[in-house]
Structure 1
Amino acid sequence: MSDNQERLTVRLTKEAIDEVKAKAAAKGMTVNEFVRRALGTELYLLDQIDAGASVVLERPNKPPTELVLR
């Protein structure tokens, strides 16, 4: 572990762990990298929402839907 990193333990359900492992494998990355990227995405979205932005999902053949983070 490099000097600018710390260890963090997170408790997840088995289902959540299985899903994270499957998504990480599908993307060709480690579970740690997948979780780091997911956390980075969450923090970025929260910062944007706090600054007044809205996050909208656009899907083919569906109306736009605003993403609401808890």
Structure 2
Amino acid sequence: MIELRFLEELYSGRAIDAAVKAFEGFAKAELRREPGVFIVELTSTSEHDETTIARELENYALGATVEEGRAGSV
């Protein structure tokens, strides 16, 4: 299990939720929110390396946050 922490001031909660859903076929992920931070607990459910999946999920969340910002919805 890998724990990922996303600062609320930098990341969109919608983007993190979308990232978790996009990786459902590769990992089990639980998203929770604590003051100022979104936390994702990720466990690989595939043959892919857990660290690789975690880094790709982070990239997805970052990209989705940037896209929301461009659309003016962050």
Coarse TM-score class (shorter-chain normalised): 0.3 to 0.5
Q: Which has the higher contact order (CA 8 A, sep 6+)?
A: 2
Q: TM-score, normalised to structure 2's length? A: 0.39
Q: Which has the larger radius of gyration?
A: 1
Name the structure where strand makes up a greater proportion of residues. Answer: 2
Name the structure where helix makes up a greater proportion of residues. Answer: 1
